[in-house]
Structure 1
Amino acid sequence: MQETFTQKSELKKSCINCGAELTYAPGTTSLTCDYCNYEQEIPVSENSFEELELVKYLNKMGGQSHSEQITMLQCKNCGANQHVEENYKSLHCVYCSMPLIIEDAYKEDWILPGAVVPFQITQEKAHQIFKNWVASLWFAPNNLKKAALDPQHTKGLYAPYWTFDAQLFATYIGQRGEYYYVTKTVGSGKNRRTVQERRTRWYPASGNVSGFVDDTLIKASKQKTGVIPSKVSRWNLKQLQPFNSSFLAGFVTEKYTIPLKEGHLVATNEAKTIATRWAKNDIGGDTQRVSSINMQLSEETFKHILLPVYISAYQFKGKRYNFFVNGQTGVLSGQRPYSFWKIFFLVLGILIVIGVIVFFTN
Structure 2
Amino acid sequence: MTEVVEKCSVCQALLDEEDLFCANCGTEAPHRAANDGSATMQTTHNFRCDGCGASMSYDASVQTLRCPFCGGEKLHAERDAKSLAPKYVVPFQIEQSDAVSRLKEWMGSSFWRPGDLATAAIVTKLTAIYIPYWVFSGKTFTYWTADSSQTPWGANASWCPVSGEHRGEHHGLLVGASSSLSPAETHAICPYDLAQAVPTRQVDLENSLFEQFQVQRKYARPLAQQGLEERVRQACAELVPGNARNVHVNVRVEGLSADPVLLPVWIMAYTYQQQTFRFLLNGQTGRCTGTAPTSYKKIAAVTAAVIAAIILFIICAGLISAAGSQ
- Of the candidates 190, 214, 223, which is equivalent to residue 266 of structure 1? 223
Name the SS of the counterpart of 1:199 in structure 2: coil
Match of 2:282 in 1: 326
Whole-angstrom distance in 2 between the partners of 1:53 and 1:119: 31
C-alpha separation in 1, matches of 2:279 and 2:248? 42
How far did residue 87 of structure 1 move?
A: 1.5
Contact 1:176-1:285 at 8 Å conserved across structures: no
**Aligned partners of 2:149 and 2:241 also within 8 Å:** no
Aligned residue number for residue 47 of structure 2? 73
Report how many residues are paired: 279
> Once the two structures are superposed, what CA deviation does each residue of 1:8-49 show, in whole Å capped at 9, x if it has no partner?
xxxxxxxxxxxxxxxxxxxxxxxxxxxxxxxxxxxxxxxxxx
Where 2:71 maps in the other structure, the secondary structure is: coil
Residue of structure 1 equivalent to 2:137 = 165
For residues 142 and 326 of structure 1, do their structure 2 counterparts lie closer, same or farther at Cα, with a shift above 3 Å needed?
same
Secondary structure of the 2:150 match is: strand
Partner of 2:252: 295
Write the letter of the residue equivalent to 2:215. I
Change (3 A) 1:312 1:209: same
Compute the displacement of 1:218 (Å): 0.6
Q: Answer yes or no: is the 8 Å Cα contact 2:104–2:118 preserved in 1.
A: no
**Superposition CA RMSD, Å:** 3.9
Q: Distance in 1 between matches of 2:216 and 2:259?
A: 13
Task: Return the alpha-carbon distance in structure 1 between the equivalents of residues 295 and 245 of structure 2.
Answer: 50
**Aligned-partner Cα distance in 2 for 1:226–1:91:** 25
Following TM superposition, by how much is the alpha carbon of 1:66 offset from its aligned partner in structure 2, in angstroms?
0.9
Distance change in 2, residues 1:231/1:264 (3 Å): closer
Matches within 5 A, 1:316-355: 316-337=272-293
Is 2:262 aligned against 1:306? Answer: yes
Q: Tell me: CA distance 1:228–1:251, structure 2 relative to 1, closer, same or farther (3 Å).
A: farther
Normalising by structure 2, we get a TM-score of: 0.69
Q: Is the 8 A contact 1:179 1:201 kept in 2?
A: yes
> Is 1:66–1:111's contact at 8 Å kept on the other side of the alignment?
yes
Structure 1 position 153 matched with structure 2 position 109: no
The SS at the match of 1:244 is helix
Matches of 2:251 and 2:181, distance apart in 1:
36
Separation in 1, partners of 2:181, 2:197: 28
Please, which runs of 5 or more residues in structure 2 have no aligned partner?
8-13, 19-32, 306-326
What is the correspondence of 1:78-157 to structure 2 with a 5 Å cutoff?
A: 78-102=52-76, 104-134=77-107, 140=114, 144-145=118-119, 153-157=125-129
Unaligned runs of at least 5 residues, structure 1: 2-49, 184-196, 351-362
Q: Counterpart of 1:209? A: 166
Contact 2:175 2:183 in 1 (8 A): no
How is 1:160-199 mapped onto 2 (pairs within 5 angstroms)? 160-170=132-142, 172=143, 174=145, 177-180=148-151, 199=158
Residue 321 (structure 1) shift: 1.1
Distance 2:84 2:294 in 1: 42
Deviation of residue 175 (structure 1)?
5.0
Q: Which runs of 4+ in 1 moved over 6 A?
A: 135-139, 224-227
Query: How many angstroms apart in 2 are the aligned matches of 1:161 and 1:117?
Result: 11
> 1:245: Cα distance to partner?
5.7
Call closer, same or farther: CA 1:176–1:135 in 2, change over 3 Å: closer
Which structure's CA Rg is the greater one?
1
1:118-153 C-alpha deviation (Å, 9 max, x unpaired):
0012223312332454467777475852667x7x61
User: Which amino acid counterpart does residue 274 of structure 2 have in structure 1?
Assistant: G
CA distance in 1, matches of 2:210, 2:116: 32
Contact 1:116 1:306 in 2 (8 A): yes
| CA separation of 1:176 and 1:324: change in aligned 2, threshold 3 A | closer
Give the aligned partner of residue 19 of structure 1.
none
Say if 2:176 and 2:186, in contact at 8 Å, map to a contact too.
no
The structure carrying a bigger strand percent of its residues is 1
Equivalent of residue 254 in structure 1, options 186, 197, 211: 211
Contact (CA 8 Å) 1:162, 1:219: kept in 2 or not?
A: yes
1:89 & 1:147 partners in 2: Cα distance?
24
Trace 1:2-21 onto structure 2 (pairs within 5 A).
none
- 2:159 is paired with a residue whose SS is strand
Which residues in structure 2 correspond to 1:215-230 (within 5 Å)?
215-223=172-180, 228=185, 230=187
2:159 aligned with 1:200? yes
